[in-house]
Amino acid sequence: MKKIISIILVALMLTTILASCGGKKGQTLDDIKKSGELVVYTEAGFAPFEFVYNNEVVGVDIAICEEIAKEIGVELVVKDVAFNTILGAIESGKAAIGAAGITITPERAEQVDFSMPYTTSKQYIIVKVDSDIASYADLAGKKIGVQLGTSSDFIISDAINGTEDDDGNHVAGDFEGTGATVSTYANPNLAAVNLEGDKLDAVVTDMLPAQLIVNNSNGAYKCFELVYPDGSLTDESYGLCVAKGNTELMEVINKVLTNLIETGKIDEYIIYYSTEVVAD
Q: How far apart are CA 44 and CA 83, in angstroms?
A: 9
Please say whether the beta carbons of 188 and 213 come within 8 A: yes
150-169 residues in contact with ligand GLN (CB under 6 A) are 150-151
List 89, 97, 100, 112, residue binding ligand GLN (CB under 6 A): 100
Is 206 one of the binding residues for ligand GLN (CB under 6 A)? yes
Does 102 participate in binding ligand GLN (rule CB under 6 A)? Answer: yes
Determine, following the binding rule CB under 6 A, whether residue 28 of this chain makes contact with ligand GLN. no
Q: Site map for ligand GLN, 220-259, x if CB under 6 A?
A: ----------------------------------------
Phi-psi region of 161 (alpha: psi -120 to 50; beta: other; left: phi over 0): alpha
Nearer to ligand GLN, 46 or 124 (CB): 46
Burial of 6 (0-12, 13-18, 19+ CB in 10 A): exposed
Residue 123 lies near ligand GLN (rule: CB under 6 A): no
Alpha carbon distance 101, 153 (integer Å): 15
Residue 104 or 227 having the CB closest to ligand GLN:
104
Nearer to ligand GLN, 35 or 157 (CB): 157
Contact 196, 217 (CB under 8 A): no
Binder of ligand GLN out of 29, 39, 90, 103 (CB under 6 A): 103
43 interacts with ligand GLN by CB under 6 A: yes
- Part in contact with ligand GLN (CB under 6 A); list of ranges 63-71, 97-105, 223-231, 259-267: 97-105
Q: Tell which one of 26, 59, 98, 101 touches ligand GLN (CB under 6 A).
A: 101
Is residue 91 close enough to count as binding ligand GLN by CB under 6 A? no
Select from 68-76, 96-104, 177-185, 221-229 the region that touches ligand GLN (CB under 6 A).
Answer: 96-104
User: Binding residue for ligand GLN (CB under 6 A) from 41, 46, 118, 136?
Assistant: 46
Find the shortest distance in angstroms from Cβ 147 to ligand GLN. Answer: 5
Residues that bind ligand GLN in the complex, under the rule CB under 6 A = 43, 46, 83, 100-103, 147, 150-151, 206
